[in-house]
Structure 1
Amino acid sequence: MKLILERNLDFRQFQNLIILTFITMMILLGMLNSVESNSYIFIKFVLIFLNILFVAILFTKKGLLFEKGKLFVCIFLLGFTVKKNLIKTSEFKEITLQKGKLSTNYAYSFDIKEFHNWEPDLNHSVTGFTIGMINENQKQKILMLTKPEKTKLAINFIVENTNLE
């Protein structure tokens, strides 16, 4: 059983990857329309490969997979499992949910006072929900999500398929 939850990238990563994809696509289209077809063929293939890779990364989603009695945190691409990490639930008894803020700030010149005065505040924060497991003396993170309805689906999926409560 698999449960595909939400986009694997946060807002800023997604935004930056769209910009990078647009730039590489424009360079590729410019090269295809202005340069002879035989010259720079290697660069054209690299740009085509990068565009396919960037678009594939844009469509990745994170989720959970229960297979052969084991729980995995996975990254999916169009429903297919790309990467999976085993979560050892046998050592833990309870499932926890922590609410917090996910914040990214791309103010690169914070250490340089002259640049910091005019640089805009690029902070973007969203509410994040961390699903984890606890025992008497240890904690382990399972997954971090940003949507409350997806968090409920993930918790129900974990409770139904494992021994966690």
Structure 2
Amino acid sequence: TSIYALPVKDVCILDEIYEFQWEFSDILNKTKDAFKPKLLSKVIDYLETHVHALLGPNKNNEAAMQGVKEELHNIESIKDLFMVLQRKYISWFNYELIVKLVDVFLPNNRSLKRTWSDYKEKLKDYLLNSGGLLTDADALEFGITDVPPGTRVMIAKVDRDDY
């Protein structure tokens, strides 16, 4: 026999995540507005050069890299660029690529850098002190095989069931 139990949803946690998503969207919009159209070709060139970083180690193969490069070639505006990045490569908890683009292409925009830094600290504090979003787990339980056996890892559960 099996026992079935409905998942417990913590409304407070869901509300907090919702707030982070809104804050991320607001900051991303400010960032998009700060990137002027004349930077588009340089940003695309930068991303093509760093396509392996977009894909990560698990999807880093020639076919995937070529697909990303073709997708980047079809981008015609800063708005298109940010839509592609948000749809495929960044999220409210995985935003370091945007921070890197700000550092590289808007190095004098201290306000935007500070905004992203504040967001990072707020998110870090939330994840470490939220009581349940981070789990200390055996790496193999989550399919992480590139660490020594018995290694404990921190796993963060997020709204799309990504870990």
TM-score bracket, shorter-length normalisation: under 0.3
- Greater C-alpha radius of gyration: 1
Structure whose residues are more often strand by fraction: 1
Structure whose residues are more often helix by fraction: 2
Provide the TM-score with structure 2 as the length reference. Answer: 0.22
Provide the TM-score with structure 1 as the length reference. Answer: 0.22
